[in-house]
Amino acid sequence: MKEFTGKYTDSGKIGNMLLDNYFRSLEILLNKIPKQELKNRKILEVGCGSGYSTERIKEMLPKNVEFTASDIEDENVKNAKKKLGKSFVVTKESVYDLQRKDKSIDLIFLLEVLEHLEYPDKALKELKRVGRNYVIIGVPREPIWRILNMARLKYLKDFGNTPGHIQHWGRRSLLKFLKSKGFEIVGVENPLPWTIVLVKISK
């Protein structure tokens, strides 16, 4: 997830403003979950990259939760551990094969991961296996994402498509996709140029 990691470290003023808006929107969705449903619960970020998003999420969560993170890339796991400190648990895991028990995680974050996956339906199936209650999913909103890339003269040969993005969703198509996989939509936020969705795992 090098592109998303770089987005945090090389954003510039406008990029930082967009990212701040992204995490404000994330917090709005997080606040839709009743506080008693997070108390003393297990929370996992899948695809945490270098740990920037994990650090931002950590600031939003109650202190009495068990929050951990995972990523498939060795370098990301190493960097995330360095950023988050020795006491924070970061593991190497594939989104397709999480090393967790069935129905063991109360809230899962999957931010800027789904668009990189060859088999997003398989990933969602795995989240449903390990998840017990909620998932928050964030993806670039198309075609706005590509339009903005082209406006800043990025990836012109690929019509603005960011390298590594092999899945593309607009707001409507993302919601339709998530519903088709058995998720209940609880809330949606649209910080430019993303869509972030809070879903509940159907029992």
Q: How many CB atoms lie within 10 A of CB 63?
A: 6
Output the CA torsion 153→155→160→163 (10° steps): -150
Q: What is the pLDDT of residue 185?
A: 98
Which tokens go with 93?
Answer: 């895991």
Q: Name the band, by pLDDT with cuts 50, 70 and 90, for residue 10.
A: low
Which tokens go with 165?
Answer: 């993005």
Q: What is the pLDDT of residue 11?
A: 56
Of 2, 62, 68, 65, give the one whose Cα is nearest residue 31: 62
Output the CA torsion 128→130→132→135 (10° steps): -60
Which tokens go with 164?
Answer: 């590594």
Number of domains in the chain: 1
Residue 84's H or E segment, with its range, is helix 74-84
Q: What is the pLDDT of residue 143?
A: 86
Strands (E) across 142-193 are located at 183-189
Question: Residue 99 is part of which domain span?
Answer: 2-201
Q: What is the pLDDT of residue 92?
A: 98
Supply the CATH number for residue 159's domain: 3.40.50.150
Q: What is the pLDDT of residue 8?
A: 47
Q: Name the band, by pLDDT with cuts 50, 70 and 90, for residue 12.
A: low
Mean residue pLDDT of the chain comes to 91
pLDDT above 90 coverage of the chain, percent: 74
Over the stretch 139-196, which tens digit does the pLDDT of each residue have? 999 888 878 878 888 888 878 778 888 899 999 999 999 999 999 999 999 999 999 9
Q: What is the pLDDT of residue 156?
A: 86
Helices vs. strands in the chain: H and E counts, helices first: 7, 7
Residue 81's H or E segment, with its range, is helix 74-84
Please compute the mean of the pLDDT values over residues 22-43 and round it to a whole number: 95
Q: Name the band, by pLDDT with cuts 50, 70 and 90, for residue 4.
A: very low
- Decide if pLDDT at 1 tops 70: no
pLDDT above 70 coverage of the chain, percent: 93
Please compute the mean of the pLDDT values over residues 40-52 and round it to a whole number: 96
Asked if 116 and 168 count as a contact pair (C-beta separation under 8 A), the reply is: no
Report the predicted TM-score, pTM, of the whole model to 2 decimal places.
Answer: 0.91
- Decide if pLDDT at 41 tops 90: yes
Q: How far apart are CA 17 and CA 14, in angstroms?
A: 5
For residue 112, which phi and psi values (nearest 5 degrees)? 60, 45
